[in-house]
Structure 1
Amino acid sequence: MLAAGASAASAAPTGIYADFANCPTDNPDVASCLVSDTTSGSIKLGNQDVPITKRIRLQGGVTVNPDTFETGFVNAKNGATLSRTALKVPGGLTGLITPAPSWSRPLRSLFYAAVNSVNDVTATAELVGPVQFSFGNLLNGEGTAIELPLRVKLDNPFLGDRCYIGSSSSPVRLRLTNGTTAPPAGVTPISGTPGELGAVEDITTLTGQSLVDNTFSAPKASGCGGLFSLVVNPIVDLKIGLPAKPGASVARLNGDAKLAPAASVATSN
């Protein structure tokens, strides 16, 4: 009987709550479950613009301070807080790197072998710290709604499997708003779109929102080129324009979000 009860409790939510399967409803502090899908837009780091052509999902649980009503964020189950969505970098490897005459013969051979096999380079955003979430700012269209500390992984056989922009100690920190940004002096603010508030039974929906940021910085690349990283990292930096100061980079994330009571999600299976 105990085993049957545990199995039922862990069953996935169904129906309109199916998308909230990774909500940490077993955490008693979680009041609501959040799913936010970015389906278009772009992320520009320095000089390099990467269009968003696949869905990027952010999900987890939302807590509420009973005294201040401020909201917090709890990571999703199964390491699914931010989907690892690989996006194609326009131009691929030849768009990021130009071989120099000073390159050694082994390095040039590796470069051309990679280009001949696959020129594609993908960029994947990965979380390297806690997510901050303000439901009030999201509804009011002002201030930071979602803060994401990220590193961006660049993938290609030539770049190796440890080519990153950003790290846990020096992240690309997006402070996304659906209102108007407050960039450094001399940088023009940009505005997002609050979207349309709606409901499906007890699920709050926000459709057609646009979250933006042009206040973040981007550090130098690291680990690109494996054994040749001392040579390759500076070339990647030069091409992309890294490190990039606040105002040089821009994020525009367009999509929809929804929020469901954790109790409804937990009992929907």
Structure 2
Amino acid sequence: MVKTTLSLAFAVALIGAAVAPEAAAGTPSGPYAMFKYCPYTHPDVADGGSCVLNTTRSGMFKIGSTTLPIDQPIVLQGGIKWLSDSPLYEAVGAPTLAAPPAQVPGGLLGIMNPAPNWPGPLWTAFWAIVAVANGVTATMEPVDTVQTNFINALYPPTDGTDPTAARLAVRVRLQNPFLGDSCYIGSAQNPIVIKLQTGTTSPPAPNQPISGNPGETYTVWTDEPNFIGYIQNDDATMVDNSFAVPAASGCGNIALGLPILTEVLDTLVSGAVNLKVGLPSAAGKNTAILTGDTSIASSAYVLASEE
């Protein structure tokens, strides 16, 4: 496999449907096996579209006063119709966005403090769980279709047009025996909307502008005599520090059998989380930084590799 220029990389992606051979139904193989969950037979993806596999290797999310490091890979995959504005068509047989649970620094004690107005049984339950299971995980869950623009990712615009390379609408699920199974920051109706770019942000105060990085883009040839290959982009950093974060809600484990009404439990526990984390958190107080690699292949080439 050899590297080549970005212009040839685009040529590979755009002419793939015209030159790829026919193949029987099966599973993508060889260099294209990584795209096995791509919806490459979806009409909008099959007709000149591409398969996408993005892996975020490092970075962080700062939500209010809490920073969540990215120390496990986050995988985003699916299909696109265009390299410019396109929805990310959902993966088949695997999550479109696979974000493993991240450990919240400090656990329960890091995101909440018991309030003076808490009933005695709630105080007792809190400290009992802190003693044996203080850890809290935070899991990012998509609530809407991901929107992509890989042209913006590779060539950050400088003319004032929308620089968004990937738009994610998500909620964050907080899990711990004390918090229960329905504790979320954001919701399907009121999500955290992150508009990632590889250029320089223009956030509201108090945040200051930060810059991403388009990384290195080249073509990986898989069958050079026939000019078959896929686009590879390495070490790109996408950023956003202009998004707002809604309040947490649904927190408090009713399975603990506390003599407290569900609505009151939610108000007390969710309120404690919001107070400690600083939620809701206005735009200009939150930050997302994601660094990783992206592979983009013509859906026709993926189909042709089936065996």
The reply to whether TM is greater than 0.5 is yes
Aligned to 2:55: 37
- In 1, the alpha carbon distance for the partners of 2:93 and 2:188 equals 20
Residues 147-175 of structure 1 show CA distances to partners (whole Å, capped at 9, x for unaligned) of: 00000000111000000001111110000
- Secondary structure at the counterpart of residue 64 of structure 1: coil
Q: Pick from 209, 214, 220 the counterpart of residue 247 of structure 2.
A: 220
Aligned to 2:11: none
Given that 2:87 and 2:145 are in contact with CA atoms closer than 8 Å, whether structure 1 keeps it comes out as no
How far has the Cα of 1:57 moved from its partner?
0.4
- In 1, the alpha carbon distance for the partners of 2:75 and 2:189 equals 24
- In 2, the alpha carbon distance for the partners of 1:12 and 1:99 equals 53
1:156 maps onto 2:142 in alignment: no
- In 1, the alpha carbon distance for the partners of 2:112 and 2:71 equals 23
TM-score (norm 1): 0.91
- In 1, the alpha carbon distance for the partners of 2:86 and 2:145 equals 14
Aligned to 1:4: none
Given that 2:248 and 2:279 are in contact with CA atoms closer than 8 Å, whether structure 1 keeps it comes out as yes
Unaligned runs of 5+ in 1: 1-7
Aligned to 2:33: 18
Residues 180-205 of structure 1 show CA distances to partners (whole Å, capped at 9, x for unaligned) of: 11222664111101100122121101
Q: Pick from 79, 86, 98 the counterpart of residue 83 of structure 1.
A: 98
Residues 185 and 120 (structure 1), Cα distance of their counterparts in 2 relative to 1, 3 Å cut = closer
Unaligned runs of 5+ in 2: 1-23, 158-162, 222-228, 254-261
1:251 maps onto 2:288 in alignment: yes
Matched pairs, number: 258
How far has the Cα of 1:99 moved from its partner?
1.8
Residues 217-252 of structure 1 show CA distances to partners (whole Å, capped at 9, x for unaligned) of: 000001011431110111100111101111100000
- In 1, the alpha carbon distance for the partners of 2:291 and 2:167 equals 16
Aligned to 1:54: 72
Q: Pick from 225, 228, 232 the counterpart of residue 269 of structure 2.
A: 232
- Secondary structure at the counterpart of residue 29 of structure 1: helix
Residues 49-85 of structure 1 show CA distances to partners (whole Å, capped at 9, x for unaligned) of: 00001000011101029xxx64332111135110031
Runs (4+) of structure 1 exceeding 2 A deviation are 69-73, 184-187
1:174 maps onto 2:194 in alignment: yes
**Letter of the structure 1 residue corresponding to residue 36 of structure 2:** A
- In 2, the alpha carbon distance for the partners of 1:72 and 1:148 equals 11
Task: Tell me: higher relative CO, structure 1 or 2? Use CA pairs within 8 A at least 6 residues apart.
Answer: 2
**Letter of the structure 1 residue corresponding to residue 90 of structure 2:** N
Aligned to 2:152: 137
**Letter of the structure 2 residue corresponding to residue 148 of structure 1:** L
**Letter of the structure 1 residue corresponding to residue 59 of structure 2:** G
Given that 2:85 and 2:147 are in contact with CA atoms closer than 8 Å, whether structure 1 keeps it comes out as no
Identity across aligned pairs (percent)? 45
How far has the Cα of 1:18 moved from its partner?
1.7
Which of the pair has more CA radius of gyration? 2
Residues 121-159 of structure 1 show CA distances to partners (whole Å, capped at 9, x for unaligned) of: 111000001111001101112300000000000011100
- In 1, the alpha carbon distance for the partners of 2:174 and 2:82 equals 36
